[in-house]
Amino acid sequence: MATAETSAPTVLVADDDATTRLLIAATLRGAGFQVLVASDGIEAIELFDRTDPELLVLDVEMPRASGYEVCSHVRKHPDAGRRNVPVVIATGMDDTVSVNTAYECGATDFVSKPVNMPSLVHRLRYVLRSHAAMQRLLAAEDRSRAMLSAIPDAILQFDAHGVVTAYRGGQGGARLPHLANCAGSNLADLLPEVVAPLIFANSVTPATAGERKSVEFAWLLEGRWAHFEARCVPKAIGETYLFLRDISERKESEERIHRLAYCDSLTGMPNRQAFLETLEREVARATQASQMLAVLFMDLDGFKRVNDTLGHAVGDHLLQTVAARLKQVLRPRDLVARDLVPRDLEQTKLARLGGDEFTILLTDIARPEDAIAVAQRVREEIKRPFSVDSHEIVVSSSIGVSIFPDDGDGAMALVKHADTAMYHAKERGRDNCQLYSASLTTRVVQRVSREKRRRQAHERGGVGGSYQPLIGTVDRAVVGMEALLRWNDPQHGLISPAEFIPVAEESGLIIPIGEWVLRTACAQAVRWQSDAARPVRLAVNLSSVQFRDVGLVATILAILRESGLAPQLLELEVTESALMDDADAAILRMHELEAAGVRLAIDDFGTGYSSMSYLKRFPVGALKIDRSFVSGLPDDAESVAISRAIIAMAHSMKLSVTAEGIETEEQAAVLAGFGCENMQGYHFARPMNAGRATELLRESARALLRLSAA
């Protein structure tokens, strides 16, 4: 359809009066219009249907059909463009009734008869122009309606008081049925409580007019949480558009991406990246507040074995179970309830770095001991058997600890140093905990042990040494002394080492305690050399934990140097199980000790693996037959057979033999008969203090002197 702006719009003129018809047609043609004419209503209708006029000028009273009827016909046309074509009615009756009727049947305008020709042209041009403008407007509105219904936002318009002046739900409104008739309501009653003020603050102010501000918020809608974005576009002072968009899907995918980037998929725990970022933030906070924090780096001992023997699926399940237990152990209230940490550990953070490595962040600790206490608790918990896929799995853990600010000023450094400390813990025989700074470890362990002693042993008492003589079978003289640890508790009296050594091993305290025994006993042994008429050997027991400590050999050599005791006089007693735990490391360590001249003895022989063949792999100098065989002598045939066999085999391997726990002369006689070199037991002497041991050595020396004089 041509528009009014084009040069020759087509006008349909219908009038039964031929003169009027001709006059109008001529005038319009003269003004540049194309003109179609009809002499009655039906002809006008047929002509309209056949052609496509842009304007109709209709006489009211015509034969067959009136101008009103033609107009009504036009307005019923199925094509919207044609239906809306402007219709001007020329009425001879200049009365309101016919004007009203003209409008009622859809006329656009009317002119009164007789028609003023010059003004008719202007009138029609004006009608065409305004019709075209209206069409453009309608088209534009159509477009924006289509656009608005396509965008996923619900649109609110509100005034300076927060009162909604208009609302268009559109597609976005589907999720917000409660906004359907919100015009007139206040924003505060429509949006979540905390959101409305934010949005209102973002609404129009002279400074922000035209700026966009957006707020994202969660919204509980019909029992489900949805995420929305609210964008404010201040239009003019006092008037703001608010676009509400459901961004739940975007949020979900953002969360998925976040989970992928920051979550360990196996355990659902934070991963390395998440831990480092949290740690970095906490370090910054601790720096500001001058606080101390600790990073615990935990690695399972022997996890590879679980994987290798039971398969990766079981390994994975074990890790998940470990993670769950760690979460349980580190539940802040739990820790506080157990009085393991003095303050609120709301900030405990846990992550899996990969493999069997976990990290724990302890914020705002008062002393490194707090971290050690948590580490010990974790170790204890990890040691409880895990039930995984119908397997009962027992693992231990090695934990390294780094402390901020002492051990590093950034997240990377702290994690790295905690890792180093963890390796140190592994070297120290696994199943223990080490601080990054070794000197700090010793200091803290000593302090802990002092505190423990204070707590447990009250004022007096504590750790002490006791010595039990080793007797030469032939001359029954004292050939050596075995140092035996004593715990003297004023309340409970002497506590057996069998009872407290496992506890000391557990806590790692056995390392400093063991050093103390060695140092004290070596110094004592040096003094004894002058008291006895012959060299006195010193036997010292080593725990398996000490034996796995890579620092052991260096410590022993240093103590020998300090005390001046000849290495050949020192005999270290180790149990079979200590050797078997980590046979390769044990062999290495034993060779180093042997090279230094120190002799090694297998303690409690016969209670462990008791295989002579494996002994060939170890540089052992002596065996101590366990008391359980000796006690059966002389009557129990099996004990007799076993003792005899052990002694014979030991001799074939050039090992010397000591029998432990001899309580009667009969036992001593049987063992002497089998060729056992040394004896030990209550029959000869009970463990005694250093002073009594010195006296005994002097007596023994005198007896020997008498013997040689006789």
Give residues in contact with Mg ion (CB under 5 A).
541, 573, 603-604, 660
Rounded to the nearest 10°, the torsion over CA 142, 143, 146, 151 is: -140
End-to-end CA distance of the chain: 149
Of 53 and 514, the one with the shorter C-beta distance to ligand C2E is 514
Two tokens, residue 123: 């009138």
φ and ψ at residue 52, rounded to 5 degrees: -135, 65
Q: Which region among 81-89, 369-377, 392-400, 656-664 touches ligand C2E (by CB under 6 A)?
A: 656-664
Local structure of residue 9 (DSSP, 8 states):
-
Interacting partner of 234 out of Mg ion, ligand C2E, none (Cβ under 5 to 8 A depending on kind): none
Of 505 and 573, the one with the shorter C-beta distance to Mg ion is 573
Interacting partner of 661 out of Mg ion, ligand C2E, none (Cβ under 5 to 8 A depending on kind): ligand C2E
Shortest reach from residue 673's CB to ligand C2E, in Å: 19
Interacting partner of 543 out of Mg ion, ligand C2E, none (Cβ under 5 to 8 A depending on kind): ligand C2E
Interacting partner of 542 out of Mg ion, ligand C2E, none (Cβ under 5 to 8 A depending on kind): ligand C2E
Of 59 and 573, the one with the shorter C-beta distance to Mg ion is 573
Shortest reach from residue 642's CB to ligand C2E, in Å: 17
SS (H, E, C) 633-682: CCCCHHHHHHHHHHHHHHHHCCCEEEECCCCCHHHHHHHHHHCCCEECCC
Q: Which region among 36-44, 138-146, 286-294, 496-504 touches ligand C2E (by CB under 6 A)?
A: 496-504
Site for ligand C2E (CB under 6 A): which residue of 543, 639, 667, 694?
543
Site for ligand C2E (CB under 6 A): which residue of 448, 542, 569, 593?
542
Interacting partner of 203 out of ligand C2E, Mg ion, none (Cβ under 5 to 8 A depending on kind): none
Q: Does 572 bind ligand C2E (CB under 6 A)?
A: no
CB 639 within 8 A of CB 629: yes
Site for ligand C2E (CB under 6 A): which residue of 496, 568, 577, 611?
496
Of 88 and 542, the one with the shorter C-beta distance to Mg ion is 542
Q: Does 67 bind ligand C2E (CB under 6 A)?
A: no
Shortest reach from residue 658's CB to Mg ion, in Å: 9
Site for ligand C2E (CB under 6 A): which residue of 498, 637, 709, 710?
498
Interacting partner of 682 out of Mg ion, ligand C2E, none (Cβ under 5 to 8 A depending on kind): ligand C2E
Strands of 239-246's sheet, edge to edge? 164-168, 153-159, 239-246, 224-236, 213-221
Of 69 and 604, the one with the shorter C-beta distance to Mg ion is 604
Residues 505-524 that bind ligand C2E (CB under 6 A): 514, 517
**Amino acid occupying residue 226:** A
Of 368 and 469, the one with the shorter C-beta distance to ligand C2E is 469
Residues 659-698 that bind ligand C2E (CB under 6 A): 660-663, 680-682, 687
Q: Please, what's the b/e burial string for 315-352 (b: 16 or more CB within 10 A of its CB; e: otherwise)? A: bebbbbbbbeebeebbeeeebeeeebbeeebebbbbbb
Interacting partner of 576 out of ligand C2E, Mg ion, none (Cβ under 5 to 8 A depending on kind): none
Site for ligand C2E (CB under 6 A): which residue of 364, 604, 657, 674?
604
CB 263 within 8 A of CB 351: no
Compute the radius of gyration of the chain from its Cα atoms.
51
Of 267 and 678, the one with the shorter C-beta distance to Mg ion is 678
Shortest reach from residue 624's CB to Mg ion, in Å: 5
Interacting partner of 687 out of ligand C2E, Mg ion, none (Cβ under 5 to 8 A depending on kind): ligand C2E
Site for ligand C2E (CB under 6 A): which residue of 9, 603, 615, 658?
603
Handedness of CA 115, 119, 120, 126 (dihedral sign): negative
- In angstroms, how far is CA 653 from the centroid of its own chain? 56
- Bridge-based pairing of strands 656-659 and 622-625 is parallel
* Contacts (Cβ under 8 Å, ≥6 apart) of 306: 314, 315, 318, 393, 395
Of 176 and 545, the one with the shorter C-beta distance to ligand C2E is 545
Shortest reach from residue 482's CB to Mg ion, in Å: 6
Local structure of residue 92 (DSSP, 8 states):
S
Shortest reach from residue 475's CB to Mg ion, in Å: 23
Of 398 and 541, the one with the shorter C-beta distance to Mg ion is 541
Handedness of CA 257, 263, 268, 270 (dihedral sign): negative
Shortest reach from residue 265's CB to ligand C2E, in Å: 44
| Apex 406 CA angle, 400 and 408, nearest 5 | 75
- Collapsing DSSP to helix, strand or coil, 387 comes out as strand
Shortest reach from residue 278's CB to ligand C2E, in Å: 41
Interacting partner of 428 out of ligand C2E, Mg ion, none (Cβ under 5 to 8 A depending on kind): none
Residues 449-488 that bind ligand C2E (CB under 6 A): 468, 483-485
- Collapsing DSSP to helix, strand or coil, 283 comes out as helix
Compute how many residues bind ligand C2E; rule: CB under 6 A.
25
**Cis peptide preceding 634, ω within 30 of 0:** yes
Distance CA 644, CA 656 (A): 13
Shortest reach from residue 575's CB to Mg ion, in Å: 8
Distance CA 131, CA 504 (A): 101
**What DSSP element (H or E) covers 435?**
strand 433-435
Distance CA 388, CA 201 (A): 56
CB 609 within 8 A of CB 576: yes
Interface with ligand C2E (CB under 6 A): 468, 483-485, 496-498, 501, 514, 517, 541-543, 573, 603-604, 627, 660-663, 680-682, 687
